[in-house]
């Protein structure tokens, strides 16, 4: 069941979602969180840092699994998603390093690394709360539009548009952005008990409209979220702009 919440702006979204995570951790201190990278969750991660500094959220028993990682660079690389998460979240809260899980982009055997990640998720009983962003082409994690989608964690070749949207992590130099990545598959994501998709800005409006009103299609990997029984889209007014005509939306809250 697809639920939609529209908020006034990025700030309101970050606050609401930080409260969601903090509340979930109060209810279940050993919560297993699935986490995205990208511009969209940055404010949320900083907000969680602020809540932590006020003693309002405790990550000591939480566990995290990030959605994806570039392939061919080590975790310590400036452009890696591991570094991104360290900068924006893990260094700001009390995450135990051994409870942070990441795909290793420097693993010698990509397929074995993907199997290891799936097994690690299964071993902890699955993901409780999976946060995801969305690419402008409808990708989730690094599940790019294709004729068919991989179900489980896999190695993927990135689209030119996806490499361009990640260029800031590599000093603005496109040729430095890795060509491949490792990513949870759509089935991995859909097996999470709860999925929350965050989207802000008008560049996301078109794919959000297709996700809500369009068919299930591997051309828009995010469309498969329609199959999940507990999924919520949390949007700002710009990302929700094309839904206004076709959906009865709640008024934007701030």
| Beta-strand runs (E) in 85-215 | 100-101, 129-132, 154-157, 180-183, 194-199
Using CB under 6 A as the binding rule, whether residue 38 contacts ligand GLP is answered as yes
Cβ–Cβ under 8 Å, residues 155 and 110: yes
Using CB under 6 A as the binding rule, whether residue 37 contacts ligand GLP is answered as yes
| Beta-strand runs (E) in the chain | 2-7, 32-35, 63-66, 68-71, 100-101, 129-132, 154-157, 180-183, 194-199, 231-236
Using CB under 6 A as the binding rule, whether residue 59 contacts ligand GLP is answered as no
Cβ–Cβ under 8 Å, residues 77 and 171: no
Among 34, 49, 105, 135, contact with ligand GLP (rule: CB under 6 A) = 135
**Span from 36-44, 70-78, 120-128, 206-214 in contact with ligand GLP (CB under 6 A):** 36-44
Among 49, 79, 138, 141, contact with ligand GLP (rule: CB under 6 A) = 141
Q: For residue 101, what are the CA distances in angstroms to 122, 124, 147, 239, 251?
A: 13, 11, 30, 30, 38
Instruction: Note if 137 is an active site residue.
Output: yes
**Span from 10-18, 130-138, 217-225, 227-235 in contact with ligand GLP (CB under 6 A):** 130-138
Q: Which is nearer to ligand GLP, 61 or 106 (CB)?
A: 106
Instruction: Note if 144 is an active site residue.
Output: yes
Using CB under 6 A as the binding rule, whether residue 40 contacts ligand GLP is answered as yes
Using CB under 6 A as the binding rule, whether residue 144 contacts ligand GLP is answered as no
**CA–CA dist 230, 70 (Å, integer):** 29
Encoded tokens for 211: 């996700």
Q: Which is nearer to ligand GLP, 151 or 201 (CB)?
A: 201
Instruction: Note if 166 is an active site residue.
Output: no
- Interface residues with ligand GLP (CB under 6 A) are 36-40, 67-68, 133-135, 141-142, 162, 165-166
- Active-site residue list: 68, 137, 139, 144
């Amino acid at each position: 069941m697809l639920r939609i919440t529209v908020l006034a702006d990025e700030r309101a979204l970050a606050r609401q979602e930080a409260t969601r995570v903090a509340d979930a951790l109060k209810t279940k201190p050993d919560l297993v969180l699935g986490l995205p990278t990208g511009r969209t969750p940055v404010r949320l991660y900083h907000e969680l840092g602020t809540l932590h500094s006020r003693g309002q959220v405790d990550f000591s028993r939480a566990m995290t699994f990030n959605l994806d990682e570039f392939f061919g660079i080590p975790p310590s690389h400036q452009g890696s998603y591991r570094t991104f998460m360290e900068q924006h979240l893990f260094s700001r809260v009390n995450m135990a390093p051994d409870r942070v899980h990441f795909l290793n982009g420097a693993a010698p055997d990509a397929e074995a690394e993907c199997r290891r990640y799936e097994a690690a998720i299964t071993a902890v009983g699955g993901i409780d709360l999976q946060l995801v962003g969305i690419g402008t082409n409808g990708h989730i994690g690094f599940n790019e539009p294709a004729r068919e989608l991989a179900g489980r964690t896999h190695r993927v070749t990135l689209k030119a548009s996806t490499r361009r949207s990640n260029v800031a992590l590599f000093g603005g130099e496109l040729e430095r952005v890795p060509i491949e990545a490792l990513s949870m598959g759509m089935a991995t994501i859909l097996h999470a008990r709860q999925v929350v998709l965050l989207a802000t800005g008008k560049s996301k409006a078109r794919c959000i409209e297709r996700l809500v009103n369009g068919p299930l299609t591997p051309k828009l990997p995010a469309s498969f979220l329609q199959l999940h029984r507990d999924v919520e889209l949390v949007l700002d007014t710009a990302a929700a702009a094309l839904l206004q005509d076709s959906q009865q939306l709640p008024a934007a809250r701030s």
